Amino acid sequence: MQAIDSKKNKATIIVHSGDMDKIYSALIIGNGALSMGMEVSLYFTFWGLQRLKKGELDKGPLSKMNMLGLGKMMIKKRMDKANVASLEKLITDFKELGGKILACDMTMEIMGVKPEDLRQDLIDDYCAVGTYIQEAMDSRMTLFI
Amino acid sequence: MAEIKIDVKGQTCPVPLVECRKALRKAATGDVIEIEGTHPASKKEIPMAVKALGYKILSIEEEGNTWRIKICKQ
């Protein structure tokens, strides 16, 4: 076991959910951590990985009160009013600040997702659980969203 | 040594923090960054980030609901 103080100033986040509000959480936390000087890796898996398909980033439902998209529409309106940044801006900033995006290759296999279906310009690597654990062992913060 | 101004008035979490970090990354050593915004939490969180990054806060001012923070990338 590594001692806590030997860990890097790093955050490793699993993005399992594809819900719009949870993608917001993942990208806001990721950008916040980068802004405060941490290294950040986002591991997109299962429903989260669907959001890396071309044109799908903001297509997820709300995790609660989606009401066939009506709830999402209302929340989006309120977000616009509050001047909340778009997911597209957040993911662009995330990459600009040096954040890493990893895609789970098992999800790709079981869900029939091909690399060309995904936004390969955003993805740093394709990997499995071992890479996540390796990075998580070395991180001060790890989250599952 | 340049002085860089960033305007994040009307922007909310996490944009002020992110724009501050983007500017600090691009700045050269010795440059001064002045960031002006209205998001209340960012007024205390930008100094937290600056401290975590090891840079220096030169001043924090507030006028109405607008704050102005000066940072030196030393």
Ordered domains of chain A (ranges, CATH):
4-144 (3.40.1260.10)
Distance CA A70, CA A49 (A): 24
Please tell me the pTM assigned to this model: 0.93
**Helix, strand or coil for residue B11?**
coil
Distance CA A62, CA A22 (A): 8
Residue A61 has pLDDT above 70, yes or no: yes
Distance CA A44, CA A107 (A): 9
Distance CA A18, CA A44 (A): 9
pLDDT for A5: 59
Prediction ipTM score: 0.91
Nearest Cα to B12, choosing from A27, A83, A91, A80?
A83
Q: Is any Cβ of chain B less than 8 angstroms from the Cβ of A82?
A: yes
Query: For testing the chain B interface, which of A34, A35, A39, A90 should be mutated: the one with the most B CBs within 10 Å?
Result: A35
pLDDT for B40: 96
Please give the structure tokens belonging to residue B50: 């600056």
Are the CB atoms for A22 and A46 separated by under 8 Å?
no
Partners of B62 in the beta sheet?
B67
Nearest neighbour of A32 by CB, restricted to B11, B17, B22: B17
Chain A positions touching B54 (Cβ under 8 A) are 37
Each domain of chain B, given as residue ranges in start order, spans: 3-72
Q: Is any Cβ of chain A less than 8 angstroms from the Cβ of B9?
A: no
What is the interface size between A and B, counted as CB pairs within 8 Å? 44
Closest-CA residue of A relative to B42 is A32
Span B2-35, pLDDT tens digits: 999 999 999 999 999 999 999 999 999 999 999 9
Which top CATH class is B3-72?
Answer: alpha beta
